[in-house]
Amino acid sequence: MASQEITDQEPHEIIEDIPVIKAVECPQCKNIVPTSMFCISCEYPLHTIEEISETDDESEKGANKSVNVLEVMLKGNESDKSTEDEDYSEDAAGKAQRPELDKSIPELNRELVTCVSLKLWSIDQLLEEKIDESQFNQLFEGYNARHQQLLDRRTEMLKHTRDIDTYEQLLKKAKISLDELEMRKSLGDLIMGEYEVKGPTFRWDIQHYQDKVSARKMEITYLKDLTNTISLDMLSEMKETTERLLHTLDNLEIVEYVSSETISSLRRSLEEIITIFKPE
């Protein structure tokens, strides 16, 4: 009877002894990997999110949970299959891709170009006497208001890029830290495991800050130079139109159909437009 009880319990003991590990979704490569100091796929420092993951509600986050080893392996295989057809700019070691430009920046530039084109068109219509001054003022007031809003938005976006100095300093610091670590390693001045822990962290920091600096430089270039948004032919045509209209205003004698106040306003607007096409 006793031997029968032991036989009945054996299957339950085997099931209970199946290894259970903790797994986490890496925030960088999105793979399900075992919880450790660093991601085994891309070396992302998982320890930096460990405390947050432990305090999060598992029912809401689900990012840090206990799973069967077989479950982790299956999920890993599915993840590998889903990414086979994707196009990566770097190798499969988890290196960061080239930063993408914020879509709102080229959209802003296109709006600026559209607004400037409408202003030039309305000025040309006035000087060609195709519309009268009251009609022109009604149109131009709306274009001016829109133009100012766009310039204000561009100024705010440029302010956002000022943190490039901070990222450049952090990048330098990370590079120095890694260089020092490599030197200490060559001199045998590291304790056991120190290089394995600190090395991936410094490399991840370097890549992270390099991406930030590259992204900011790209944003600044696009915000300060409209030639990155429109064709050179279109840019040249708009500049020529602006200069022609300025020349026309400079050579205008007193005209009855346009007040001197309006002419002065037009000259200021055209001079402002000229500066837009000059990269800062």
Chain segment 203-229, per-residue pLDDT in tens: 999 999 999 999 999 999 888 887 777
Residue where a domain terminates, one of 34, 49, 83: 83
Q: How far apart are CA 159 and CA 57, in angstroms?
A: 37
* Residue 204 lies inside a defined structural domain of this protein: yes
pLDDT of residue 253: 62
> 189 and 123 in one domain?
yes
> 168 and 57 in one domain?
no
> 237 and 128 in one domain?
yes
Helix axis angle for 133-160 and 104-127, nearest 10°, is 160
Residue where a domain terminates, one of 31, 49, 83: 83
> 172 and 51 in one domain?
no
Q: Which segments of the chain have a pLDDT < 70? A: 1-22, 34-38, 40, 43, 47-98, 253-256, 278-280
* Residue 93 lies inside a defined structural domain of this protein: no
* Residue 95 lies inside a defined structural domain of this protein: no
> 61 and 108 in one domain?
no
Q: What share of the chain is helix, strand, coil (3-state, %, to 5)?
A: 65, 5, 30
- Burial environment of residue 37 by CB neighbours within 10 A (0 to 12, 13 to 18, 19 or more): middle
> 58: helix, coil or strand?
coil
pLDDT of residue 36: 66
* Residue 10 lies inside a defined structural domain of this protein: no
> 129 and 27 in one domain?
no
* Residue 91 lies inside a defined structural domain of this protein: no
Question: Residue type for 2, please?
Answer: A
> 168 and 243 in one domain?
yes
Q: 53 near 46, Cβ under 8 Å?
A: no
Q: How far apart are CA 22 and CA 35, in angstroms?
A: 6
Going by C-alpha positions, the residue among 193, 171, 167, 168 that lies closest to residue 181 is 193
> 144 and 76 in one domain?
no
- For 102-250, where are the alpha helices, taking DSSP H only? 104-127, 133-160, 164-186, 194-224, 232-250
* Residue 180 lies inside a defined structural domain of this protein: yes
> 188 and 146 in one domain?
yes
What's the domain range around 207? 104-276
pLDDT of residue 96: 47
Q: 184 near 202, Cβ under 8 Å?
A: no
Sheet of strand 32-34, all strands in order from the earlier edge strand to the far edge: 32-34, 20-25, 64-68
Q: What is the residue-wise DSSP string for 151-168?
A: HHHHHHHHHHGGGHHHHH
* Residue 253 lies inside a defined structural domain of this protein: yes
Q: How far apart are CA 94 and CA 33, in angstroms?
A: 13
> 112 and 243 in one domain?
yes
> 72 and 153 in one domain?
no
Question: Residue type for 115, please?
Answer: C
Q: Which residues contact 169 (CB under 8 A, 6 or more apart)?
A: none
Please count the other Cβ atoms lying within 10 Å of the Cβ belonging to residue 41: 19
Residue where a domain terminates, one of 52, 83, 114: 83
As for how many domains the chain has, the answer is 2
DSSP strand pairing (32-34 vs 64-68): unpaired
* Residue 129 lies inside a defined structural domain of this protein: yes
Sign of CA dihedral 143, 144, 149, 155: positive
pLDDT of residue 98: 62
> 131 and 79 in one domain?
no
Q: How does the average pLDDT of the chain come out, rounded?
A: 76
